[in-house]
Structure 1
C-alpha cells in the first residue's frame, strides 16, 4: 500500500542523506549482487544548467559528493521494511552533455566496499596462521567500513608450524581472500546491511541452509511474479578428482579421489554427478608440495563441490512489485510452475536490480547441482 521508496546516502566517510539537488536529479539506479567477487551499482543523474550559478559549469558536477571514492548507501523501502541494497564507493564518473536542454546526464558507477580491499598490492606474511585465521585478520583490518566477519573454517585446517614454513601471499587483500578460498570451493563477498553502514564479510561455502525465500512463480495464474525464465543444463560441469599425493607426514604416495558433492543441504532430486556416471570429467590436483593427505582431500573435494554448483542454471526477470519484496542473492529460493524437472529449490547466485520512477525489475541467476524437486511444494 505504501509502494516502494529508494533512499540515497552519500559522504566521504560517514554517508548522510543526499542533498536535494542530487536526490531530485536521480533518473535510475542499477545494482548487481554476485556471490563471488565484487558487486556494483550505477546511478544516472539528470544534469542541467539554469541561472547565473551555472554559467561557469554544471553545478552538480562541482558537488564533491559525486566524486570518486565517495561512499554510497542505497536502501529500498518496501512498505515499512527497509533493506540495504548497496554499500559501496564511487569508482567511475561519466558525463554526457546531451544535445537537448536538460538532456545532460551524469552516470556514477561504483562497487561494494570490498573494492577498498583491492587497492594495494603487497607481500604479506602470516606466521602460524591457518586460512581461516588469515581471512579473519584481513577482514578485521577494514573495520572502519563496518565489516562484520563471518568466517567458516574449511574441513581441513592447515595450521603451519613456524619452524617449517610461513604462509606468504603477494597481491591485494581481496586477492588473498579469493586465493585461499578457492582451495576449498569457498566464496568471499561483502553483503550490505542489515543496518545502513554495516556489512557482513562472508568467507565460506555457498550459503544453502537459510530459510527459503518467497517462491518464484511461473505460469500459475494471478500468483505469477516471474516475467521470463530460461533453464540451462551443463553436462560438462561435473568433475571428480582422481590423483595421488605424497603425504608430508609419512612421505608415502597415497590416492586422492572424490565421488560426490558435500554441499549441504542438497537442492536437486537428481544430481548430475550421480546420473551422468560414467560420463563425468576427471581432474588432477594442482601441483603442490608439502600437503598432508587430509589437506589434499579437502582441496580435491573443493574442486568437485565447485564444479557441480552450476550444473543447472536458471536466468530470468521478475516484477518486484508483484513479488512484493527483494530477492536476496547468496541464499535459497523456491521455484514453482515450470514442471517437476525444473521446480524446487535453487541457490540464488546473483540478482540485478533496475529501479526507476514507477518501475522496479529484478534479474536473477539461480543454480543447483541437478534437476528435479526434492519437496512436493515450496514456500508460496
Structure 2
C-alpha cells in the first residue's frame, strides 16, 4: 500500500492470520489503528477499502468472519527503516458498506478491536480456583488463549494471598476480561494486550503500570532541521491532581486508620520537578477489607493515575521521525520550553496510514512541570 521507506503488512484469517492477496492490498485506501495504554481501554482498528459493485471482497470478509468459524483475526504491521512493528493484533467486530454513486466505487469498512475482544465474549462465571493466588488465577484464565499466540506476562503481587480451600474458594464472576481487570485493580495492577513482537504473537500483560525504561527518540519542536513533530500543544490542569487516601485496619485495636498515598513509586518515578499540590482528596474505602500491603499497592496505583496533571498532544510524520512512536513507553520532548521539556509517558497513539503517508496522533502525560533531567536524551 505504501511505497518508499514504509511498508504495510496486512494479515487476515480465521484464528491464524495469513498475508492477504494482492487485490486486497490494492483495494485498501486507509488503515487507522488506535493504540492505548490507558487502564480499562482497548485498542481498535479500522480498514477502509474501495471496491467495485460486484467485488467479492465484502462477501469474503463476511463469510470468513461469520458464524463458522466465529473469529476473523486481523494483524496490521508496518516496516519503517527495515524494522517491523506490529500495530495491532485483533479481531473483526463490525463491517459497513456504502454503495458508490454514479457508477463510482463502493466504500467497504472493516472495524475491530484487539484480542481482548475475545476475552470479553467468554463468560467464566462460576469457575472455581481452589488454593490459587491471584497470579495463578490470571495464568489459568489466559491459558485458553495460547492457541492464538498470546503469551502471558504475569508479575506476582508483592503480597501473595493463598486462600485456604477449607475456608473459601475464589470463583470467577463475569467475562474473562472483566475478571482479569478486577484482579488487576485489587492488586494495584493493570491488564493490557501488547501486540508483537512479530505478527501472530502478542503479550497479555498483568502487572504494575510501570513508567520506566529506555526512552524513545526525542520529539523535537521548532528545532530547525531537527524538527520531527508537525504540531504539539501542552496543558497543565492543576485541578486534576487528587490525593488518594486508603483505609487500613489496625490488627491490634481493629481501628480503621486513614493513610495518604504519595503519587510516586519505584515503578512510577517523578517525570517533573514541580508537581502541583493535589486539589482534591479521594477516599478509597474498599481497602479497609484488605491487608495493609494490598491497600497500599492499590492506593499507589490510584495515585499514579490521578497524578497526570501535565499533558501533551500532537502529530508527526513517521518518515520524518524515522521510526514508529509506541505507546506504553517513555519519550523525550525538546523545544517546548523549560516548563514542558523532558520525559513523558506515551498514553496513546493513533496511527493513520494512507497511500504515500503515515502519520501519528499522540497523547503524552506526566506528573509535573520542568524536566527532571539536565539534558533530554536525543
**TM-score normalized with structure 2 length:** 0.90
Pairing 1:131-280 to 2, within 5 Å after superposition: 131-242=134-245, 244-247=247-250, 250=252, 252-263=254-265, 264-272=267-275, 275-276=276-277, 279-280=278-279
Determine which of 337, 344, 347 is the counterpart of 2:345: 347
Q: Which residue does 1:114 correspond to in 2?
A: 116
Q: Give structure 1 stretches of 5+ with no counterpart.
A: none
Asked if 1:40 is matched to 2:44, the reply is yes
Give the one of 361, 364, 373 matched to 1:363: 361
Quote the Cα distance in structure 1 between the aligned partners of 2:282 and 2:228: 41
Structure 1 residues 127 and 286, CA, compared in 2 at 3 Å: closer, same or farther?
A: farther
Aligned pair in 2 of structure 1 residues 313, 125: CA closer, same or farther (>3 Å)? farther
Match of 1:85 in 2: 87
TM-aligned CA distance change 1:15 to 1:287, over 3 Å: closer
Number of residue-to-residue matches in the alignment: 367
Distance 2:273 2:137 in 1: 37
1:3-22 correspondence runs (5 A): 3-22=5-24
Q: What aligned pairs does 1:248-327 form with structure 2 within 5 A after superposition?
A: 250=252, 252-263=254-265, 264-272=267-275, 275-276=276-277, 279-287=278-286, 290-308=289-307, 310-327=308-325
Aligned residue number for residue 72 of structure 2: 70
Q: Which moved more, 1:280-289 or 1:94-103?
A: 280-289
Change (3 A) 1:79 1:66: farther
TM-score, structure 1 as length reference: 0.90
Q: Aligned partners of 1:328, 1:307: CA distance in 2, in Å?
A: 22
Residues 247-306 of structure 1 show CA distances to partners (whole Å, capped at 9, x for unaligned) of 5x546114241241234352423253xx41xx5422222346642233222223332222
Cα drift, residue 98 of structure 1: 1.9
- The residue matched to 1:209 in structure 2 has which SS? coil
Contact 2:263 2:300 in 1 (8 A): yes
Q: Tell me how large the CA RMSD over aligned residues is.
A: 2.1
| Structure 2: gaps of 5 or more residues | 66-70
Following superposition, the deviation at residue 173 of structure 1 comes to 0.6
Cα distance, 1:146–1:85 mapped onto 2, change above 3 Å: same
SS in 2 for 1:125: coil
